[in-house]
């Protein structure tokens, strides 16, 4: 299935290219192989509302194929558990029990706990209860008319991370009509689970990328690190910067990636849960972090918070850096990244 067709089924427009690009290290040397003399294993599958790209560099021992299959299986399981589009997901069971509690898988519980922790950390900029607002702006259906401003108030009453509850291995919502959406962290969590599975299988050099969330494990060969390109949000067919990474996650949130045209207005999918309005100061937020879930969460949060508040947040987190492009065309970089980023 083509990427545009895949996203169109979810009711989402896209610029047609992933926000992050792993620049192929194997293209430099004809017939390049991994340390064990085996060429890289590459897989691309659909999942979590995007394309999942995985490349593993085998070390010559048996089992790399099985490890890659197991890693992709982890991503598929995260998708099954936390999809808002599946009637059999944990998320749907929580919604059906809204006003009460639902027992969930340990992985769903871990993401719910992380989602509430990031919501508290970001003052609600990243909020797992945002799904009613996504429906309001037409991202869960085919709304073609701009909603009336007066209709927003009742929707906001159902949004707010303090309405979510976690107790005794169960997740719930305080009121009927509330809904959860783990889109701000679930992809990153799925990437982390895939990388952990690869490592358990003995694959230490690999990358996994899912719709702008990436973890680069090890390195493609002993002479260099993985090189990641960041797309220019104003010209998505081009890169504006590159980074070299090793055992590190990178995530980008950008309004140019997923959007709807509603009533003639282009509406980005990144909605500020505090106001109910699409965030518009930042065009692109890229965050480097120790885990893909943290990079995913903070890329979304800093996109919504804006550059100054985003920089303050990033400075407080160990091992976290960021780069932002604002609507006025300026580029902002956190202090620890100035010596690492290369402008294209």
Domain assignment of residue 186, yes or no: no
Tens-digit pLDDT profile for residues 242-288: 999 999 999 999 876 666 666 666 777 789 999 998 888 999 999 99
Cα-based distances in Å from 85 to 1, 45, 100, 253:
18, 18, 21, 21
pLDDT at 11: 34
pLDDT tens digit string along 145-192? 677 778 899 999 999 999 999 999 999 999 998 999 998 899 999 999
pLDDT at residue 8, as a whole number: 39
Total of domains in the chain: 1
- What is the pTM assigned to this prediction? 0.89
Q: What is the pLDDT of residues 106-144, one digit of tens each?
A: 999 999 999 999 999 999 999 999 999 988 887 776 656
Higher pLDDT, 17 or 240: 240
Residue 46 Ramachandran class (φ > 0 left, ψ -120 to 50 alpha, else beta): beta
Residue 134 located in a structural domain: no
335: in domain: yes
Give residue 278's domain range.
3-59+205-343
For residue 86, tell me if it sits in a domain: no
Report d(CA 90, CA 86) in Å as an integer.
9
Q: Is residue 71 part of a domain?
A: no
Q: For residue range 25-80, what is the model confidence (pLDDT) as tens digits?
A: 554 333 445 455 567 899 999 988 889 999 999 876 678 999 999 999 999 999 99
The CATH number of the domain where 271 resides is what? 3.10.520.10
Within 8 A by CB and 6+ apart from 215, the residues are 191, 192, 194, 195, 207, 208, 248, 249, 291, 292
pLDDT band per the 50, 70, 90 thresholds, residue 14: very low
Helix, strand, coil % in the chain, rounded to nearest 5:
30, 30, 40
- Does residue 104 surpass a pLDDT of 60? yes
Token pair, residue 177, equals 């009509």
User: Is residue 200 one of the residues assigned to a domain?
Assistant: no
CA gap 150, 131 in Å, rounded: 19
pLDDT band at 85 (very low <50, low <70, confident <90, very high): confident
Question: What is the per-residue pLDDT for 12?
Answer: 32
**Would residue 312 count as lying in a domain?**
yes
Residue 260 maps to a domain:
yes
pLDDT band at 337 (very low <50, low <70, confident <90, very high): very high
Residue 18 has pLDDT above 80, yes or no: no
DSSP string, 211-262: TTEEEEES-SBTTB-EEEEEEETTEEEEEEEEEEESSEEEEEEETTTEEEEE
């Amino acid at each position: 299935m083509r990427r545009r067709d895949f996203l169109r089924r979810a009711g989402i427009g896209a610029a047609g290219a992933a926000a992050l690009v792993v620049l192929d290290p194997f293209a430099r040397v004809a017939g390049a192989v991994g340390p064990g003399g085996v060429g890289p294993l590459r897989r691309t599958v659909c999942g979590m509302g995007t394309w999942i790209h995985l490349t593993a560099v085998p070390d010559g021992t048996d089992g790399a194929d099985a490890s890659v299959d197991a890693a992709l299986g982890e991503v598929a399981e995260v998708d099954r558990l936390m999809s808002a589009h599946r009637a059999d997901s944990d998320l749907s069971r929580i919604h059906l029990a809204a006003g009460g509690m639902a027992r969930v898988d340990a992985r769903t519980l871990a993401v719910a706990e992380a989602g509430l922790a990031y919501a508290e950390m970001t003052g609600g900029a990243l909020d797992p209860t945002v799904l009613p607002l996504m429906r309001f702006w037409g991202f869960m259906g085919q709304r073609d008319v701009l909603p009336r401003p007066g209709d927003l108030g009742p929707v906001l009453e159902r949004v707010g991370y303090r309405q979510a509850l976690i107790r005794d291995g169960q997740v719930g919502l305080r009121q009927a009509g509330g809904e959860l959406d783990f889109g701000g962290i679930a992809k990153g969590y799925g990437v982390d689970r895939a990388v952990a599975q690869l490592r358990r299988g003995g694959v230490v050099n690999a990358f996994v990328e899912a719709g702008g969330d990436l973890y680069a494990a090890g390195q493609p060969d002993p002479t260099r690190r993985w090189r990641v390109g960041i797309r220019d949000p104003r010209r998505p067919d081009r890169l504006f910067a590159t980074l070299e990474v090793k055992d590190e996650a990178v995530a980008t949130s950008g309004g140019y990636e997923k959007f709807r045209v509603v009533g003639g207005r282009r509406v980005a999918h990144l909605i500020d849960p505090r106001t109910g309005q699409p965030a518009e100061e930042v065009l692109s937020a890229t965050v480097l972090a120790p885990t893909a879930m943290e990079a995913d969460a903070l890329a979304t949060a800093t996109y919504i918070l804006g550059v100054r508040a985003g920089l303050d947040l990033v400075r407080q987190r160990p091992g976290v850096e960021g780069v932002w492009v604002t609507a006025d065309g300026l580029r902002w970089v956190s202090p620890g990244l100035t010596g690492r980023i290369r402008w294209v």
